[in-house]
Structure 1
């Protein structure tokens, strides 16, 4: 911070609440390591104040933005364009300045699949199962479709959004060529059969985080070597799902990888910076669970 000058670029996270976000620690450490003259701050912004925040970002010349809940869908109306992934997801978590325009991207799904790739798992031409059709789950199954997965099975509780999710999956099937199918998360027999055929299974539900840290949607007898199981939860670092996957000889991929790689993709978009993900993980998340 002592090196801030008239040339320092500013990037901000918009959302609410944001005071406990890990993003400032991640990005400011990365900027310092790579010698980038930029700082990353947070601003508590709600959907009611979001329009003014975007107007302010334009006027002040911010180099970029992150957007988190509850603003990821509301921000679309205030931007000048969307990446293909953001347009299909209907949500933005990264905003990039291109000249005098602000373009919305979504790096959540790409971050998850990059974490999978780092673990040796690719989805092109293969089957994927995703549990949860909310923000994280939607980002993952949309990106998997864009990345060439042939079949994607999505499981969700039968809530008030179930029917609209089914319609959205049909639209994604038509637009991407992948076959996306929605199932009831309560249908255990179907879940078992879809998991058995999948190279990657992603749990994007709240199961695994407190107070559900001792629970797993996937039973150990369904797991086998050659498969990968990812949890979008990163607190605790090792969820029940990941522990069971390791015991079964399968590949276990924690939510921290998704968090770090979506951040790394953001830095590449904003400033063409290649984040040293391993270094950031060691420095920011070295404390034991």
Structure 2
């Protein structure tokens, strides 16, 4: 298998040095014999408009987008895929054959695919606590609801941002329900907690706790987003941070008897979905997983 011409892809992030997307995608291109290259671009928020405009000028065929650009990039694009529009955040941009920049979001689908595959949790019977209210939280919340979840509580250090996300989720769920049943949605419960109240109350009431913040990401590996006060054994505790593979947050949860769900699966699956959008080919999942594990100095054993 081989592409007909050399093509450039990349990642917009700030900072960008921690990301393993370049090594993962370049190894996947190599495995399929594609003459493509994936490059990390450190783009500061104030430079994002110029960087996006440069995609067309330079003929860059596609980029991934991560912190802090997933929401900021939306108004700079020519078109949004319906899922990205519903989420309100983008993690993948493709330069179409018509020369238009089209935004997609593979975060939510990648996360839920990983969660269900690795934990088998029944989302229809699960009360979820979502830590954070950024672009990743938006994508994950939307896909949790798409897969049957009816109870989501959002906690964010800026409470107004959590309220905004809660309203976004309610609007999405109601629109989806009207489309499917021609009636209002009555079963979904979306709550917001202040961070201070959550720390005082503890996490007893939840069966799935998801950290969508970057707290604990390399190099600040000793940090945790929340003390898991009152955690019940058997609770699924999930972290979308994949570097380190097992964060301090997950290590604490494991010591308290939780079932932990690491961020590597989401990273691989969202990357595979982006790879398909970039190239039209199915991604070599095993190859991608192996190269990321190697970079993290781990083995799959």
- Does TM-score exceed 0.5, indicating one fold? yes
SS of the counterpart of 1:73?
coil
- What's 2:286 paired with? 278
Separation in structure 2 between the aligned mates of residue 158 and residue 224 of structure 1, nearest angstrom: 29
Consecutive unaligned residues of structure 1, counting only runs of 5 or more, are: none
Q: Is the 8 A contact 2:13 2:41 kept in 1?
A: yes
Does 2:205 correspond to 1:194?
Answer: yes
CA contact (8 A) 1:109 1:136 kept: yes
For normalisation by structure 1, the TM-score amounts to: 0.82
1:230 to 238, 243, 249: 238
- 1:237: how far off? 2.0
Matching residue within 11, 22, 25 for 2:23: 25
Deviations 1:56-92 (A, max 9, x none): 3224443211123333223222322212332233221
RMSD (Å), alpha carbons: 3.1
Query: Which 5+ residue runs of structure 2 have no aligned equivalent?
Result: 177-184
Q: Structure 1 stretches (4+) deviating beyond 6 angstroms?
A: none
Where does 1:43-192 land on structure 2 (aligned, <5 Å)? 43-100=41-98, 101-122=100-121, 124-127=123-126, 128-159=128-159, 161-176=161-176, 177=185, 178-188=188-198, 191-192=202-203
The equivalent of 1:213 in structure 2 is: 222
3-state SS of paired residue (1:187): helix
Structure 1 window deviating more from structure 2 (87-96 vs 45-54): it is 45-54
Aligned residue for 2:101, secondary structure, equals: strand
Task: Report SS of the residue matched to 1:125.
Answer: helix
Quick one: structure 1 residues 185 and 35, their matched pair in 2 at CA, closer, same or farther if it must change by over 3 Å?
Answer: same
Q: How many residues end up aligned between the 2 structures?
A: 282
